[in-house]
Amino acid sequence: MAQDWQPALYARYGDERLQPVLDLLARVPFDRPRRVVDLGCGAAASTVPLVERWPEAEVVGLDTSPAMLKAARERLPGTAFVQGDVATWAPAEPVDLLFANAVLQWVPDHGALLPRLMGLLAPGGALAVQMPDNLSEPSHALMRELAAEAPFAAALRDAAGARTEIAGSDRLYDMLAPHAASVQIWRTVYHHPLAGPDAIVEMVRSTGLRPFLDPLGEADRVAYLARYTDRIAAAYPRRADGRVLFRFPRLFFVAVR
C-alpha cells in the first residue's frame, strides 16, 4: 500500500515550490471571484495565496491525502478543506476558479479530464494549471533507469506509470480550445541553487520519487536511494560556489470558459 504524503518533508523546499504558485496566480484574470477551489491543495501552501488575494471569496481546498488535509486545516482553520479525487470530484455549483498547482500530472487521461474540469466552471470562469514538465530531466530519467535494474525491477515495473505524460502545447491547446474563450500556455524552466546532490534527492523524495520508493522493502529502499544519490551527484556537478543547480521545467496554462 502506498504511504501517505509527508507534509513536513514536502515543506522543506517551500520557497522553490511557492514561486510557480505565484507565477500562475499572477496570470489569473480575476478581481473578485466568488467561488475558488484549490485542486490538490496539499498542506495549503497554494491555498494561502488564494485566500490572501481574494479574502472575500469562498475558497475550498481539495486533496486525497489525510495527512496533507490535516496540516492544511491547522494552517488555515477558517478555510474549508475536503477529501476528494480530482478525477471524479464535482462541486455542488459552478466554480469561478479551479486552481490546480502540481497535481494534474498525477491524474490520467487529460483528454477527458481537462474538458470535464472546464465544464465545472461558471461562464467566464477559469481553469489555472501548473504541472512539472520534468520527466525527461536527469532527476526523473534516473528514477526510471534504476527501476529497471536488479533487485528493483519486479517491484517497480509499474512505477513510471504513476505520472501522466504531459501533452505538448499544441495538443494541450487542442484539448482546451473547444471549451474555452481564451487559452494561455507557457513553460518556465526554474534553476534552483541547492546545497548539494542530497538536497535534490530530498526535494524529489516527497514527490516524484514516491512511486519508486513506496513499493520497496526497507533494505531495497535504502539501496535504491544510495544508488540514486550517486547518479544524481554525477548528473548535477557542483558549481563554482559548491552548490548544485537543479533545473526544473514547469508547464502552465490558464483557460477561461
What total of structural domains would you count in the chain?
1
C-alpha cell recorded at residue 106: 498525477
Domain CATH number, residue 187? 3.40.50.150
Does a structural domain hold residue 206?
yes
Question: What is residue 232's predicted lDDT score, i.e. its pLDDT?
Answer: 98
**154-185: pLDDT as tens digits:** 999 999 998 888 999 999 999 999 999 999 99
Among the listed residues 48, 33, 179, the one whose alpha carbon sits nearest the alpha carbon of residue 94: 33
Contact residues for 145 (Cβ-Cβ < 8 A; gap 6+): 231
d(CA 97, CA 94): 9
Domain that holds residue 187: 7-256
Strands 244-256 and 182-194, how do they pair?
Answer: antiparallel
How would you list the strands of the sheet with 80-83, edge to edge?
A: 80-83, 58-63, 35-39, 95-101, 121-132, 244-256, 182-194
Q: What is the pLDDT of residues 49-90, one digit of tens each?
A: 999 999 999 999 999 999 999 999 999 999 999 999 999 999
In a domain, 2, yes or no: no
In a domain, 142, yes or no: yes
Task: Look at the pTM and tell me if it is higher than 0.85.
Answer: yes
Report if residue 155 sits inside a domain.
yes
